[in-house]
Chain A
């Protein structure tokens, strides 16, 4: 991974925002729904089935996502900076953690920005607020990471 130090700083701000949402210490009503409902969607329409399912999976969905955020944060704290460019080699496990954290960050920011259908991306492209710019840039970064990781999958 090779990024400018300003981009790295932006990424380093994400774990602090994601941890309370993933752990349940905090939720965010964005006007288009609660963020935790999107991060942890229902498996069943039936409330009783859903309750049983939630009891079955317990806290592991949140624990796994939090562990990914910690791996993401740890790699961001590592690496090397030279002439304003940060570089770090990611293991496959660290790359998976990055994908997870980037995806959770995008889902959260998109709710904050108010992306509730695909047509709103066109309006978002014209916006210059920091949250929308961050959302767009994280999408680009996730796409770059996916391009690299696709080559690791067997057909």
Chain B
């Protein structure tokens, strides 16, 4: 019997800590949903005020919300996204956060 250490093909060892980091790093999307009451102008105003969008960008997002029912208006870490949702709620918009 050989005393030499057997040759073992290298294999990927999953590092749970790495998986957790990957999970934490996945960005959260801030979604604004269409509603039949909020004025289009108001949505544009709030998006410009809160996110600093220029008028064409805010208009494009507003029209996407209006026609498609929702739009992602920001993405980022969970804490920042929660803060964005809170600010959108404070302005009366229907906003949620989720990850793909």
Contacts and interface: CB of A to CB of B under 8 A. Distances in A.
A86 interface: no
Contacts of A38: 94
A44 to B, nearest CB: 7
B77 interface: no
Interface residues of B, number: 24
A115 B37 contact: yes
A121 B42 CA distance: 17
Interface in B62-78: none
B39 A39 contact: no
B96 A103 contact: no
Contacts of B36: 110, 115-118, 120-121
Contacts of A64: 90
A41 B95 contact: yes
A41 B89 contact: yes
- Contact size range, A: 35 or more
Contacts of A142: 39, 42
A147 B3 CA distance: 85
The 7 closest A-B pairs by CB, nearest first: A110-B37, A103-B92, A118-B36, A155-B54, A146-B41, A43-B85, A41-B94
29 contacts: A39-B92, A40-B89, A41-B94, A41-B95, A43-B95, A43-B97, A44-B98, A60-B86, A64-B90, A99-B42, A99-B45, A100-B92, A103-B91, A104-B92, A106-B37, A106-B38, A107-B92, A115-B36, A120-B36, A121-B36, A139-B39, A143-B39, A143-B41, A146-B42, A146-B45, A149-B45, A150-B44, A153-B45, A153-B49
